[in-house]
Structure 1
Amino acid sequence: MSVLIVIPARYASTRYPGKPLAELTGATGKTRTLIERSWRAACDVDGVDRVVVATDDDRIKEAAEGFGAEVVMTSTECANGTERCAEAHAALGGNFEVVVNLQGDAPLTPPWFIEDLVNGLKAAPDMGLATPVLRCDGATLNSLLQDRREGRVGGTTAVFAADHSALYFSKEVIPYQSGAYEDADDTPVFHHVGVYAYRPDALAAYPDWPVGPLETLEGLEQLRFLENGRKILCVVVEARGREFWELNNPQDMPKIESMMLKMGLE
């Protein structure tokens, strides 16, 4: 199956304006922008036919072309990354069998997360899209809870049924848990990894659906699929010793740089 990775990037982020051009320093002291690091993560994935950056901003376009990325310009009317991916895929001819949305704030996404995601979607013909989830260890769960205690919107969590179809996604920490998991390897909470793999029919239909109350309240684009009766496959991925965190707020930058240093990532 032909696979396209789209990295949607906008400059006017509410929580972090200019985020795609924020600079992160790796383990060797090399400084690269967030969008470049996300593009490099995409290029490391096996079995991908094409990688593009999709943006509506000339500053991001110039920066992306400067490090060698292919850029597709999209409308300023795109409300989120999924709408931007739909527009970019259509602009490229709409002929790919799987479209992956690798959001530009996840430079620590290991290639096997995306490889497992695509394979999971291929094996589930009744699913229109798939997304990875990673079981939290105690340290990650505590980071999520600390963000909420301090009034920050950190990572997203997910709950899913026995067949791994998504039940809900939230910026709150779900499900509720009263245990102490500080030193635990496994907890009952799954961190949603902000990557999606769509079948082209589901992706093309998305921009025409109304925005529902859950998407509005949570600010999570994937809830539009659930609110319109579409199944989402949650693919459980393994960290394999890698730490994962998304850059949601400026306060996340030192945390991600520390993780890159610890893991020896350039």
Structure 2
Amino acid sequence: MAVLVAIPARYASSRYPGKPLVPLTGAGGRSRTLIERSWLAAQAVDGVDRVVVATDDDRIRDACEGFGAEVVMTSSDCFNGTERCAVAHEALGGGYEIVVNLQGDAPLTPHWFIEDLVTGLRAAPDAGVATPVLRCDGAALNGFLADRKAGRVGGTTAVFAADKTAMYFSKEVVPFTSQTYADDAETPVFHHVGVYAYRPDALAAYPTWPTGPLERLEGLEQLRFMENGRKVLCVEVEARGRQFWELNNPEDVTRLETMMKQMGLQ
């Protein structure tokens, strides 16, 4: 029942080149790179047997080995993080029950998001992949809308059926709502958290499928599963008072640093 966490990281991001090595300063003035903070988030998860960083870049490898991470080198031909995780799992010899993709731009991911995700996938044998969703409060939704108004691609939203099967993911805010919400109000919008848990057969099949039109338009890798008829399970997680955001744009650095200092994360 072994669980592998793979953290895919590439240097040549089209929106933010060198993003994994961007320094983030937390409480007490402690500065660590984005990739180190993501690795530390993975280390805090219970029930994980192995954590690796999967990259094709020597600069990222050297930085990761410098703080003690295990690194798996992958091809630069990997189109996205899911493909990189598939290559890393194969390079390690396979054999894991579940492979978790903790994307390297989400260092504030609480450990219970991943623990609940693994539990949710184990309880749904008909699902090949699962991903967390977090109900937005008014403050988070307002942040999404502000990003879109400013022309920034911010977080991703998700809609799903009553049985938690994903119906769609988008970088637009879905479902549409014209209502305004107080910062602490509950909203009908769910933030998709950039973490995935895969069964090995679904992960191995993924690179064999062509990129579909929805994945290409949205730039969202999970849509390839849906475009090929694979069930994606949405696992609702609770913030428990914890702030959460990914580093999508240079403007997010200040936002993440403010959150880390407020939470006392060094």
Q: Normalising by structure 2, what TM-score?
A: 0.99
Say which SS state the counterpart of residue 60 (structure 2) adopts: helix
The CA deviation at 1:14 is 0.5
Gaps of 5+ in 2: none
Overall identity of the aligned pairs, in %: 77
The CA deviation at 1:126 is 0.3
1:24 is aligned to 24
1:2 is aligned to 2
Say which SS state the counterpart of residue 20 (structure 2) adopts: helix
Deviating above 4 A after TM superposition, structure 1's stretches of 4 or more consecutive aligned residues are none
Distance in 2 between residues matched to 1:69 and 1:2, nearest whole Å: 19
Distance in 2 between residues matched to 1:186 and 1:65, nearest whole Å: 42
Say which SS state the counterpart of residue 113 (structure 1) adopts: helix
Say which SS state the counterpart of residue 188 (structure 2) adopts: coil
Do structure 1's residue 126 and structure 2's residue 126 form an aligned pair? yes
Distance in 2 between residues matched to 1:20 and 1:49, nearest whole Å: 23
1:142–1:182 Cα contact (<8 Å) kept? no
1:52–1:72 Cα contact (<8 Å) kept? yes
2:72 is aligned to 72
1:225 is aligned to 225
2:82 is aligned to 82
The CA deviation at 1:183 is 3.0
Say which SS state the counterpart of residue 187 (structure 1) adopts: strand
Distance in 2 between residues matched to 1:9 and 1:138, nearest whole Å: 31
1:178 is aligned to 178
Gaps of 5+ in 1: none
Distance in 1 between residues matched to 2:194 and 2:263, nearest whole Å: 21
2:210 is aligned to 210
Matches within 5 A, 1:107-126: 107-126=107-126
Say which SS state the counterpart of residue 59 (structure 1) adopts: helix
The CA deviation at 1:155 is 0.1
Computed over aligned residues only, the root mean square deviation of the Cα atoms, in angstroms, reads: 0.5
2:54 is aligned to 54
The CA deviation at 1:210 is 1.1
Distance in 1 between residues matched to 2:176 and 2:88, nearest whole Å: 38
